[in-house]
Structure 1
Amino acid sequence: MRYHLLVPTDFSENAWSAALYALKLYANKPCTFYFSHAWTFLNSGSRTHISQSYIDPLIEEAKAQLEAVKEKAKQESSNNDHEFETIFSFGSLMDSIEFANKEHNIDLVVMGTKGATGAKKLFLGSNAVTVINRVRRAPLLLVPKKSRYETPKKILFPTAFNRFFGEEIKRVKQLAELHLSSIDILHINKKETLSEIQNSNLESLKTELEDFDLNFNWMSDYNSKAIAITDFIKDNDINILAMINYEHSFIENLVKEPIIKKLGFHSKIPFMIIPRID
């Protein structure tokens, strides 16, 4: 299988950290990496006319920067089955991602996040939140600022077992297959409290993941899912967090509240968000 990865970049350190993570995560797999940049000119003086002769050099500079990122990524890769392309577009980041998804059948979008910094403890940043809310074609892997790559030996998949696991679970399986990772299933409640439907979904999940090193975990002494997940990650040396973005899910609540200190969610590891399939 050849993977198609989209790596949007604004030429920042965060974006390059995400690119490096993607290169290492897929180091031994045939891949095409698409480095994309969405160029927008913001004119703070709305009544001031800006000539095309001023704008054109800025566009050319951005194109050159994008090409430089691609060449830098080539130097980092030692896999002859890695291919590198650039996508330069005008408009919003979201438009650029949606275009790439349609044109190139993207398997994963990899983005850097700001990390919990500053007085407001911003976790994601407005761009990442927009992408989480609107991307429906491919999973999104958010890589925290200055995240150091570690071979993902352990993947955490929290679930309430409220829904049947369909096509979405294939994304977790593909992630685990990259490095033969074990999968920790986390339910934040007691096993004895599961309904008949939840137990049915639990059994279907066991069947779906029977070929993997699978561990089931139950945490009942937490009022906050965010704190439970954070503590489990820390106590069990988890390398990647993966969740499905269902309607009214934990993820939906997370992106509505930018002050991470209030939520108690401090993710220092990559976070894969899998879009629900309606």
Structure 2
Amino acid sequence: MKNILLPTDFSENAWNAASYAVELFKNETCTFYVLNTYTPHIAHSRFMATNVSGDMMEDAARTQSEAGLANLISRMHTEFNNPQHRFTAVSSFSMLVDEVKAVIDEYAIDLVITGTKGASAIDEVFMGSNTVRIIKTVKKCPVLAVPQNFKFKTPDEVAFATDFNRFYTQSELRPLLDMAKTFNAVIRIVHVQQKITALTELQKFNLSMLRKYLKDVEHYVHTVSELNSISKTLEIFSNELDIHLLAMLHYQHSYMENLTREAVVKRIAFHTQIPLLVIPELGMSGSSHSKKEQSLSASE
């Protein structure tokens, strides 16, 4: 069983991401934890009556949050009605990112799926939205960011952007491998270079290990010249090869980190409308999912 976290603010953008999630896992047994956080605004004014209770405002916000979650889950059952899917509402008086981390720990979450806003949805991810805060903060499971207007397509063409400068562990690549095997997807490893040069010995070794991990998956290596920026290059690559999902590992000096630091002028051109799977740096510690498996096997 997969445990999927769906943060929501009850917008159409969040609904679209949740719809994508249930379509993505329509053939798998899943529990979806639908999370809404609320922090009621308490006005500070010398004209405000001193007996106005913050507790009353919190109660009203909680009621609104719980009602919104109930309506959303009811809509999920009505529109998708998948007997393999179970939904659990999580309403919390908390900051979103803090609660996302807490829920990941409490329910052994395997994947967070969230929406991105705006006409240039991926660009919005890199401009201080909740999504980028989640991406930067979550270290124990992948985050899948779904653009606002993206309608579900089976991800049978997946791009994995990397520079081969870092050794990958099998636990880090598990989300990519699972996706490829589930959807019989082709993995296109894309390496963006400012100037096409031969790989170093370290890069060659890391590439060979990557290919070893992907030995049971159809995959290809693409080396492409950087066009103005990494983001623009990946956008063009994704469009030309009809990529349905772009995956990256998030670690120091990675493409993902570089994308968040690119000049705004360069980022504006990054209008790709495909989901972005961000895999955190796990190292040898493994994912929460693998730890859960280890504890289960130890108890048997």
Query: Percent sequence identity over matched residues?
Result: 36
How many Å apart are 1:164 and its aligned residue?
A: 1.1
Q: Deviations over 1:183-241 (max 9, x none)?
A: 10001237751011111111111110011111111113535211111110010000000
Corresponding residue for 2:179?
Answer: 175
Instruction: Provide TM-score, normalisation by structure 1.
Output: 0.91
Corresponding residue for 1:139?
Answer: 142
Q: Distance in 2 between matches of 1:101 and 1:77?
A: 25
Q: Does 2:210 match 1:205?
A: yes
Corresponding residue for 2:165?
Answer: 162
Q: Deviations over 1:56-103 (max 9, x none)?
A: 233212211111111211223343221110111111001111111111
Q: Distance in 1 between matches of 2:249 and 2:176?
A: 9
- Find the residue that maps to 1:89 and give its secondary structure: strand
How many Å apart are 1:112 and its aligned residue?
A: 0.5
Corresponding residue for 1:187?
Answer: 191
Q: Deviations over 1:107-153 (max 9, x none)?
A: 100101113459xx634552112111110011000011121111111
8 A contact 1:122–1:259 mirrored in 2: no
- Find the residue that maps to 1:161 and give its secondary structure: coil
Q: Greater shift after overlay, 3-12 or 261-270?
A: 261-270
- Find the residue that maps to 2:62 and give its secondary structure: helix
Q: Does 2:24 match 1:25?
A: yes
How many Å apart are 1:264 and its aligned residue?
A: 3.0
Which amino acid is the alignment partner of residue 185 of structure 2? S
Q: Deviations over 1:234-257 (max 9, x none)?
A: 100000000000112222232345
Q: Distance in 2 between matches of 1:55 and 1:200?
A: 55
8 A contact 2:232–2:267 mirrored in 1: no
8 A contact 1:112–1:143 mirrored in 2: yes
Matches within 5 A, 1:1-278: 2-45=1-44, 48=48, 49=50, 50-51=52-53, 52-116=55-119, 122-124=124-126, 125-166=128-169, 167-189=171-193, 193-220=198-225, 222-256=227-261, 259=264, 262=267, 264-278=269-283
Q: Distance in 2 between matches of 1:258 and 1:11?
A: 32
Gapped regions of structure 2 (runs ≥ 5) = 284-300
Change (3 A) 1:227 1:53: closer
8 A contact 1:226–1:263 mirrored in 2: no
Q: Distance in 2 between matches of 1:169 and 1:239?
A: 18
Q: Greater shift after overlay, 203-212 or 216-225?
A: 216-225
Which amino acid is the alignment partner of residue 260 of structure 2? V
8 A contact 2:4–2:111 mirrored in 1: yes
Q: Distance in 2 between matches of 1:209 and 1:147?
A: 28
- Find the residue that maps to 1:188 and give its secondary structure: strand
Q: Distance in 2 between matches of 1:46 and 1:233?
A: 52
Q: Greater shift after overlay, 242-251 or 8-17?
A: 242-251
Q: Distance in 1 between matches of 2:179 and 2:117?
A: 23
Change (3 A) 1:37 1:164: same
Instruction: Provide TM-score, normalisation by structure 2.
Output: 0.85
Gapped regions of structure 1 (runs ≥ 5) = none
8 A contact 2:39–2:95 mirrored in 1: yes
Change (3 A) 1:93 1:135: same
Change (3 A) 1:39 1:258: farther
- Find the residue that maps to 1:212 and give its secondary structure: coil
Name the Cα RMSD after superposition: 2.1
8 A contact 1:122–1:258 mirrored in 2: no
8 A contact 1:260–1:266 mirrored in 2: no
Change (3 A) 1:95 1:110: same
Q: Greater shift after overlay, 253-262 or 233-242?
A: 253-262
Aligned length: 275
Q: Distance in 1 between matches of 2:220 and 2:282?
A: 25
8 A contact 1:113–1:142 mirrored in 2: yes
Q: Greater shift after overlay, 39-48 or 13-22?
A: 39-48
8 A contact 2:161–2:255 mirrored in 1: no
Change (3 A) 1:100 1:144: same
